[in-house]
Structure 1
Amino acid sequence: MEVFVDAATKQIEQFQLRMPGDLREKLRARATANRRSLNSEIVVCLERVVASAAGDDPNEAR
C-alpha cells in the first residue's frame, strides 16, 4: 500500500478496488455527469454513505 501526502498534508492511501463492470460504468457515468474523475466520484459516494451512517447530513459531503 502506497501513502501519498497532498498539499494540505492529508494522508492519501492508494489501493486497488475490485467491482463489477456494470457498477464501474454507472459510477463512470455519474462522474462524467458531475464533471469529476472516477476516483473523485467514488470518494464522494463513500463520504456520503459514511456521513449518512454517522447521522450527519449526507449532502454536506463534497
Structure 2
Amino acid sequence: MNSNALPGRGADQVMLRLPDGMRDKLKARAAANRRSMNSEIIVCLEKAVASAAEDEPNVARA
C-alpha cells in the first residue's frame, strides 16, 4: 500500500512544543470528547481562529 494513500499523509504538518503538562490535559480532553489528540488540537485551533476572526474583522483569512 502506498503511504500517500493513507488519510492525512498529504496534509500540512507542523512540529509543536507544548508547555509541561499540556499534553496530558489535551489527552484527557480528547478522551472525554472521544477524539484523537490530533483531532482535539484541530478543534481547539479552529475555535481560536474563528473567535479571533470575529474579534478582528480586518484580519485577512487564509
TM-score bin, normalised by smaller chain? 0.5 to 0.7
Which structure carries more relative contact order (alpha carbon 8 Å, separation 6+)? 1
SS where residue 42 of structure 2 aligns? helix
Choose between structure 1 and 2: higher strand proportion. Answer: 1
Ranges in structure 1 where 5+ consecutive residues have no aligned partner = 5-11, 57-62
Ranges in structure 2 where 5+ consecutive residues have no aligned partner = 1-8, 56-62
Q: Which moved more, 1:37-46 or 1:12-21?
A: 12-21
Note the aligned Cα RMSD (angstroms).
1.7
Name the TM-score, length of structure 2 as normaliser. Answer: 0.68
The sequence identity of aligned pairs, in percent, is 62
Q: What's 2:34 paired with?
A: 35
The aligned length equals 47
